[in-house]
Each structure stands twice: as structure tokens, then as C-alpha cells.
Amino acid sequence: MQSRRGILFILSSPSGAGKSTLARRLMNWDNTLSFSVSATTRNPRAGEIEGREYFFRSHNEFVQMVDNNEMLEYAEVFGNFYGSPREVVENTIVEGKDVIFDIDWQGGQQIRNSGLASDVVSIFILPPSLKELQERLRGRGQDTDEVIQNRMEKCREEINHWAEYDYCLVNRKLDDTEEDLKNILKAERLKKCRQLTLEGLVSNLYNEVDLKS
């Protein structure tokens, strides 16, 4: 019997606050972690590969997946749809493996309100300041000034949802935030509600006590 059921480890933040980098670092630290690859209707960026960064789908294909209840969560962000295919995630946690989600507050809210809510550990990543967040977005060199402005305008709405999460970390230094995330994951894995073999072990201990009496 496997020792525990997997965890749905949700990371959310305003764009540019570091959740994607932190998710990659966690994956490098523990290769048993699975990354929930999202489906999206946006166009691939340079270097992105189908099935690695995203499953790239047309608008009609995405809507069909939603209609067929194939999405665990989905949302429209900056004119494009993003969502997490359900089947792979459910199969992974049943096998006792943890899944990392790099999603926004809307997706996190949907998963926390789903039938998998008891498997969720959610962390919101805050930037130390909006000025630094804007500098990070410009430093990535991925977006136009107009897109960056749109992301900054949306940032306030996203930050408003920080209190809905189990944990909230301020990402001042990536190394420190990474260590905090590792500690959270270690502690959550050890919670008694997640350890499926504990009840049987305790029962055996009681039996051993009876044998000695």
C-alpha cells in the first residue's frame, strides 16, 4: 500500500512575482514532483514546446474540452484561455505523487471549490513592491509596454485574493522563498491526514502492547 495520497500544490502570484521560476526550482529539487501542464489558446512563445510548457489549443478545441468536463479549472487571462486538464491530475495524486500548479487566483479558487479540495495546499507569492514587480516584467523582455501596463493594472485585483490561500510568501530573494516552499511541502507531506498507513501502524502497535501484557 502506498504511504500517502498526492498533494495539489498551488502556486499563484501576480505576473512577474516569481511563481514560475519557483515552480521550476521545486521540480529541480525533487524530481518526484509532477508539473500540471496547462492547456492554452495563446500562441507559443519562442522556445516553447507542445506538451512541455503548454498544450496549445484553438479556441474551439478549448471550449470543447470545457464542455466535456475535461478541465479541472480554467480562466480567461488577457484575452486567452488557460486551464488544467483533469484526468492526468487525478491519476497522478491517486498514485501518491504531488502535482505543482502554476496558476492564477481564478484557477486556484476553482480547484479549492472542487471535489479535490482536501488535496490542495495553496501558496500566494507577493512581490516586495509594485515598482520591483514592474522592473522584473521589463527585465524579462517578453512583453510589449502595453502588455506590461495591462499586467500592472491587473495586479491589484490579483493581490486582493492573497487571504484565500493557505500560505502567503513575500518573494524578496528567490533562494529564501524557495527554502520556505520546500519547508511547507515537507510539513504538508507529514500531516497525519495524508499518511494512509498510519492507522494500520497504530493498530499494530496496540496489538504489540497486548502481546506483551
Three-state DSSP at 94 gives helix
Count of CA atoms in the C-beta half-sphere (13 A) of 133: 25
| pTM, to two decimals | 0.81
Match 471550449 to its residue by C-alpha cell.
63
Task: Report the distance separating Cα 4 and Cα 7, nearest Å.
Answer: 9
Three-state DSSP at 90 gives helix
Q: What pLDDT does residue 168 have?
A: 97
Q: What pLDDT does residue 144 have?
A: 77
Task: Report the distance separating Cα 141 and Cα 185, nearest Å.
Answer: 32
Counting as low any pLDDT under 50, the low residues of the chain are none
Q: What pLDDT does residue 1 have?
A: 63
Q: Which residues contact 62 (CB under 8 A, 6 or more apart)?
A: 39, 40, 41, 74, 81, 83
Q: What pLDDT does residue 210 have?
A: 67
